[in-house]
Amino acid sequence: MAEGEVRKRQIHYPPIPNGIDYLRDVIDRLACESGEPSERDLKYAVLHLQAAAEVLLKARLREEHWSLVISKAEKTNLKKFEKGEFESATNAETVRRLVEVVGLDISADDKKTLLDLATTRNQLQHWGITEEANAVLTRAADVLDFLIRFLDQHLLPHLDTDDEETVADDLEEIRTGLVRIESYVTSRMQRLKESDLKGHEARTVRCPDCQQLALIVDGVANNCLFCPRDWTDPLELASAYDNAFGYSPAPGDVYEDSLVDCPDCDTPTLVLEVETATGDGPVPLCFNCAEVQDDLEECVRCGRLYRPTDEEAICSDCFADLG
């Protein structure tokens, strides 16, 4: 037996069953058949989901080399690692190492899902649950979906038979629980589409909290029917929307930002590419005016958007300026 194998066995502890155990707890809390999860269930579901993500992602780093789990490898040694006396890498750094050091393929969407979860966890630790149950549910489903794919691709194939048996039942529960959460989301969305959202398609956009196409922009209540919650501050909504779904401009694009000043209300609430429930492709929508601003031109002098009244090529400000 090679020396390396002995060493590996000595430091063996089961991070994968440990991570799966956290996931099982998340499912028990969120996919409860009794109905709505309590606030306490939501809280522990988020905390344990984050713990699961951390344990499982780091388990893959560990497989590569134990030192990858540690924030600063130059400040440690194997002895300290075995005793747990080390500072571990941050979430963002863990994901970066998985991609850039180990060479795994993690999509931009998945990365964002994971980092959003870490943010929700931090908010929760400071302020408690600030989000509606349905928003927690849909985001948790995205993370669960990612972690199950991650387990299937990168972790389960390396499990030894003992561990495999330990986790089999839990895995089964987790997979069926996720399907239950997802079908709850789908059937609820279907009902909304056929009832309260009907007729509002052109102003219905994706909610930054629950990510569902269920937020009716009216410039006043801006109510998401899925969460359900109101976004009464259009500035807050526009920037949350832009953070969640705004495009990242390529170098050379005219607009560095997908969130600009609306020429009608002079507020930075005009998002240039908004997907609506019509499915007709993105439109420029002002979250303050609650209007699709699709007849705007770009001023050749100052570069701002304006609404031409005739065929003029510059905005009224520039026009006045030139006197």
Q: Which of residues 218-237 bind Zn ion (CB under 5 A)?
A: 224, 226-227
**Residue 156 contacts Zn ion per CB under 5 A:** no
Q: How far is the CB of 206 from Zn ion (least distance, A)?
A: 8
Listing DSSP states for 114-137 in one string gives HHHHHHHHHHHHHH---S-HHHHH
When the beta carbons of 174 and 224 are compared against Zn ion, the nearer one is: 224
Pick the stretch among 3-11, 142-150, 167-175, 295-303 that binds Zn ion (CB under 5 A): 295-303
Query: In the block, which residue shows the tokens 């510059």?
Result: 314
Token pair belonging to 181: 């959460």
* 262 touches Zn ion (CB under 5 A): yes
- The reply to whether 210 sits near Zn ion by the rule CB under 5 A is yes
Q: Let me know: does 194 contact 277? Beta carbons within 8 Å.
A: no
Q: How far is the CB of 227 from Zn ion (least distance, A)?
A: 3
Count of beta carbons in the 10 Å neighbourhood of residue 86: 19
Is the backbone peptide bond immediately before 282 cis, with ω within 30 degrees of 0? no
**Which of 32, 159, 240, 265 contacts Zn ion by CB under 5 A?**
265
> Is residue 286 a contact point for Zn ion (CB under 5 A)?
yes
Verify binding: residue 205, Zn ion, rule CB under 5 A. no
Q: Is 264 in the site for Zn ion (CB under 5 A)?
A: yes
C-alpha 179/C-alpha 173 separation (Å) is 10
Q: In angstroms, what is the minimal distance from the CB of 185 to Zn ion?
A: 11
Separation between Cα atoms, residue 218 and residue 188, nearest integer Å:
22
Q: How many CB atoms lie within 10 A of CB 81?
A: 18
Stretch that binds Zn ion, among 3-11, 169-177, 194-202, 278-286 (CB under 5 A): 278-286
For residues 247 and 282, the answer to whether their CB atoms sit within 8 Å is: no
Return the number of the residue (170 or 298) whose C-beta is nearest Zn ion. Answer: 298
Q: Does 305 bind Zn ion (CB under 5 A)?
A: no
CA distances in angstroms from 132 to 11, 139, 186, 188, listed in the order given: 42, 11, 17, 15
Q: Which C-beta is closer to Zn ion: that of 39 or that of 160?
A: 39
Is the Cβ of residue 73 or residue 318 nearer to Zn ion in the bound state? 318
Binding site for Zn ion (CB under 5 A): 207, 209-210, 224, 226-227, 262, 264-265, 286, 288-289, 299, 301-302, 315, 318
